[in-house]
Structure 1
Amino acid sequence: MKLSAIKSANKKLHSMADTCGNLLVDVFHFLALFAILITIIISASLAFSEMIAKQSISIEDILLLFIYLELIVMVGIYFKTNHMPIRFLLYVAITALTRMIVGEIQIHDEPNLTIIYAGATILLLAISNFIIRFASNKYPSEQEKTAIPRG
């Protein structure tokens, strides 16, 4: 009788510890996401204020704002779904490489190998994005199958 009571108490203790541990992980998770989001917003605000202060906005600056926007959306999706949207990371990389190409062209008027390499990398990232998108539609996860009706 006493042994079953001890086992029952042990199970309750482990259950409470799991619950507390999950709560602490969730709290840290949300605090970290808020910190990341605040950092992105502050960084975007500073970049925007620098653009206003210099009284001219280049294509590079606009692409930088798009990068910030994509990062904010990515964090928002992560808040809602608890999944890291890999495609948004690919979009950020493509936008960053496009920004680099624009800057390279503005500095050097003649084409060089850096532009070709960056263009090839953008192509690889776009192909990767297509493959990920195709695979996620063709082979959805069990969670997506129940959450999103496909027709």
Structure 2
Amino acid sequence: MQTPLIGRSFSLIEKVGLLAILAATLFAGFSEVKQMVQAGHAGVSDLLLLFMYLELVSMVEVYWTAGKLPVRMPLYIAMVALARHMLVDQQLPALDLLGTAVAILLLAVAVVVVRYGHLKLPYRDAIDSRHLS
């Protein structure tokens, strides 16, 4: 049996961890914007990196408010990260390029499977919350 003090302690640790992730993400995002301003231009890879930071901020917000992390969000970030990797490393061998493209495709299939599962096989608490609202 969990005592209220232990439950609150874990909740506090979780919130502090989320704030640390948010602060680090914002710091990295602002540092990237600063580098783009200093360089005087922004490339597609820079924009994809900023998009990844934005998705991380969104993930923290969803986890903070709902207390749950949708599996699809990290999958989206992974797809963008792999696409950015393909753009940044211009000298990728053809086989590596193909492997990265297949990895993005597999992640996209995983998103579809997860989404289908959530629609057709909802969790019990999701069913209960729909009936309450």
What's the TM-score, normalizing by structure 1? 0.81
Aligned positions, number: 131
Shift of 1:49: 0.7
Shift of 1:111: 6.4
Between the aligned partners of 1:85 and 1:37, the Cα distance in structure 2 is: 17
Pick 1 or 2: higher relative contact order, CA cutoff 8 A, min separation 6. Answer: 2
Deviates more, 1:76-85 or 1:90-99: 76-85
Counterpart for residue 20 of structure 2: 35
Match 1:96 to one of 77, 81, 88 = 81
Between the aligned partners of 2:115 and 2:35, the Cα distance in structure 1 is: 36
Between the aligned partners of 2:13 and 2:52, the Cα distance in structure 1 is: 26
Where 1:148 maps in the other structure, the secondary structure is helix
Provide Cα deviations, 1:78-115, integer angstroms capped at 9, x if missing partner.
011111221010000000011111123xx33x861111
Counterpart for residue 82 of structure 1: 67
Counterpart for residue 125 of structure 2: 143
Counterpart for residue 19 of structure 1: 4
Between the aligned partners of 1:144 and 1:133, the Cα distance in structure 2 is: 14
Counterpart for residue 48 of structure 2: 63
CA RMSD of aligned residues (A): 1.7
Where 2:69 maps in the other structure, the secondary structure is coil
Shift of 1:146: 2.1
Where 2:34 maps in the other structure, the secondary structure is helix
Change (3 A) 1:50 1:148: farther
The one-letter code matched in structure 1 to 2:74 is L
Between the aligned partners of 1:86 and 1:39, the Cα distance in structure 2 is: 22
Where 1:94 maps in the other structure, the secondary structure is helix
Counterpart for residue 48 of structure 1: 33
Deviates more, 1:83-92 or 1:111-120: 111-120
Counterpart for residue 118 of structure 1: 100
Where 1:85 maps in the other structure, the secondary structure is coil
Report runs of 4+ in structure 1 exceeding 4 Å deviation. none
Higher Rg of the two aligned structures? 1
What's the TM-score, normalizing by structure 2? 0.92
What is the identity percentage for the equivalent residue pairs of Structure 1 and Structure 2? 27
